Amino acid sequence: MPLAARFFGVKPELVIKGGMVAYAQMGDANASIPTPQPVHMQPMFASYGGAIAATSVTFVSQKAAKKDIGEKLGLSKPLVAVKNIRQLTKRDLKLNDYLPHIEVDPETYEVRADGELLTCEPASVLPMAQRYFLF
């Protein structure tokens, strides 16, 4: 197995929002070496000031958008009108529309989906635990 397949990153290096860096890995700003540990996700340029509004939108009803509610409320984010939201259900999800009948036995805690007993053995390996989250 190639090294890249065995070891991979689970923490993003950067979070880019609207073309701007919103979060990035950063160590101690006072460190005297270029690779201080631990590093954590820290807010960057797109997380402050006018960049917040420039890199996000506010969803509103079509009626609110037509009445220019953003200007009346002094919103700086662009408004995006949505429709038929109240009629949406899980059945409308393209890849996640399954709704099994779930039963939980209150005495044995057995869980059944559509009458089939669901079982899960305890995990013997936790692939994204300490190895990737030491800091």
Residue 101 lies in a domain: no
HEC profile for the chain? CCHHHHCCCCCCCEEEECCEEEEEEECCCCCCCCCCCCCEEEECHHHCCHHHHHCCCEEEEHHHHHCCHHHHHCCCCCEEEECCCCCCCHHHCCCCCCCCCEEECCCCCCEEECCEEECCCCCCCCCCCCCCCCC
Residue 44 belongs to a domain: yes
What pLDDT sits at residue 67? 93
pLDDT score at 29? 74
Residue 81 lies in a domain: yes
Evaluate whether residue 99 is within a structural domain.
no
- What is the Cα Rg of the chain in Å? 23
Specify the pLDDT at position 115. 96
In a domain, 45, yes or no: yes
Per the structure, the count of domains in the chain is: 1
- 57 in any annotated domain: yes
Is 94 inside any structural domain?
no
Question: Residue 38's pLDDT is what?
Answer: 77
Domain residue limits at 57: 3-86
Full pLDDT tens readout for the chain, 135 residues: 555 556 666 778 899 998 999 999 888 777 777 777 777 889 999 999 999 999 999 999 999 999 989 999 999 999 999 998 889 999 999 999 999 999 999 999 999 999 999 999 998 887 777 666 665
